[in-house]
Amino acid sequence: MPWLSAKTPNQNVINLIFLYYRKNSLNSLTAGTAYDEPIWNPTESEKEDILRLAQQIPVVWKSKTSTPSQKKRIVRILIEDVTVMAEPGKAEFFIGIRYRSGFSETLPLKKPQKRYDEVRHAESTISLIRNLSATMDDSEILSYLKQNRIITKTGSEFTISSIKWIRYKHKIPNLYESTRKGLTVREAADVLGISSGKVYYYIDKGIIPAIKQRPGWPWEISLDTNQADALKKILQ
């Protein structure tokens, strides 16, 4: 058959399918008219050839020798039209495809995520950090996450910095903030009318009573009104 001649198998498949749809379209255009060219009715042999070669379309599409122009031609030959159905604010959208054969289908797809959504921590991770922060400090939370092989959404391991960022972003207090009972150094300085440096100095001298719940944590200073007045007289 002359229409089966082509330099490459890929082009052979494309030419054949193109011919089939060209003639099929011609049938529709000339139906009921006095067009000179007779309506094409493919023989059984032609139908077998068309089916056999059409089954090679996936191979042609994936072939390294297939050019973009050839792939575009395949799409134009096979597809009549495409309708995109999407709504603002919704991640899922639909593509309706109508083929020249008369068959149609609807494909559900998801919109590409923004970079922020790709790296944003899952709600389950945020809830876990919130719960752990009630009884653990950041280093203990980090150890827990590593022991349980819990990683970030991008596949990286958590760090102290990333845990602090989650707490900051979602207003999750750390263990010190949620269990603190005394005044901070800054708060004590305001009550006593002295600088923070002097508060540290008098803590070191044992004049201002202060404790640390854990090594490395900030000082907690317990002062009631009477104690504050007494300290003011001593420090004047």
pLDDT more than 90, % of the chain:
24
pLDDT digits (tens, 9 = 90+) for 127-175: 999 999 999 999 999 999 999 999 887 888 999 999 999 999 899 998 8
Helix (H/G/I), strand (E/B), else coil: 35: coil
Band of residue 30 on the pLDDT scale cut at 50, 70, 90: very low
Handedness of CA 215, 129, 120, 171 (dihedral sign): negative
Please give the helix or strand (H or E) that residue 96 lies within, else none: strand 92-99
CB-CB contact of 95 with 106 (8 Å): yes
Higher-confidence position of 222 and 9: 222
* Tokens matching residue 3: 């229409």
- One-letter amino acid at 214 equals R
Is 89 exposed, middle or buried (CB count within 10 Å of its CB: 0-12, 13-18, 19+)?
exposed
Mean pLDDT for the chain overall? 79
Tokens encoding 101: 């054969």
Q: Which amino acid is at 215?
A: P
Domain residue ranges in the chain: 2-81, 117-179, 185-235
Cβ pair 140, 163 in contact under 8 A: no
Q: Give residue-wise pLDDT tens across range 70-118.
A: 888 888 877 889 999 988 878 899 999 988 777 888 999 987 766 665 6
